[in-house]
Structure 1
Amino acid sequence: MTEHIEISEMDKQIVRLLQGEFPLVAEPYKALAAEIGITEEELLDRIAVLREEKKIRKMGAVLRHREVGFTANVLCVWDVPDAQVDEVARRMAEHPRVSHCYDRNRTPDWRYNLYTMIHGFSRAECEDIADELAAASGIAERCMLYTKKEWKKTSMRYFTE
Structure 2
Amino acid sequence: MAAEAVQELTELDKNIVRALQGEFPLVAEPYKTLAEQVGVSEEIFMERVKAMQAEKKIRKMGAVLCHREVGFKANVLVAWVVPAARLDEIAQQMAASPSVTHCYDRNTAPGWPYNLYTMVHGRSREECEQVVRDLGAHCQVSEHAMLYSKHEWKKTAMKYFCE
TM more than 0.5 = yes
Aligned to 1:50: 52
In structure 2, the residue matched to 1:24 is: 26
* 2:105 corresponds to: 103
CA distance in structure 1 between the partners assigned to 2:85 and 2:17 by the alignment: 37
Residue type matched to 2:51 in 1?
V
* TM-score relative to the length of structure 1: 0.85
1:41 and 2:37 aligned: no
Of the candidates 61, 72, 76, which is equivalent to residue 59 of structure 1? 61
CA, structure 1 residues 145+25, in 2 after alignment: closer, same or farther (shift >3 Å)? same
Mean Cα deviation higher: 22-31 or 40-49: 40-49
The letter for the 2-side match of 1:11 is D
Q: Which runs of 5+ in 1 are unaligned?
A: none
Give the distance between the partners of 1:110 and 1:41, measured in 2 at CA.
53
Q: What residue number does 1:72 align with? A: 74
Deviation at 1:112, TM superposition (A): 2.0
- 1:141, 1:52 → 2: CA distance? 43
What SS does structure 1 have at the residue aligned with 2:68? coil
- Indicate the RMSD between aligned Cα atoms, in angstroms: 2.1
Tell me the equivalent position of 1:14.
16
- Moved runs in structure 1, 4+ residues, more than 4 A? none
Shift of 1:41: 2.6
Q: Deviations over 1:70-93 (max 9, x none)?
A: 221111122223343333222222
Distance in 2, matches of 1:136 and 1:41, equals 46
Quick one: distance in 2 between partners of 1:106 and 1:85? 13
Aligned equivalents of 2:94 and 2:102: distance in 1?
A: 9
1:118 CA drift (Å): 1.0
Stretch moving more, 49-58 or 119-128: 49-58
Task: Decide whether aligned partners of structure 1 residues 40 and 75 sit closer, same or farther in structure 2, where only a CA change above 3 A counts.
Answer: same
C-alpha change, 1:158 and 1:97, in structure 2 (3 Å) is same
Q: Does 1:114 align with 2:99?
A: no
Work out which of the two has the higher radius of gyration on C-alpha atoms and give 1 or 2.
2
Residues 146 and 49 (structure 1), Cα distance of their counterparts in 2 relative to 1, 3 Å cut: same
Q: Which amino acid aligns with 2:118?
A: T
CA 1:53–1:138 in 2, change beyond 3 Å: closer, same or farther?
farther
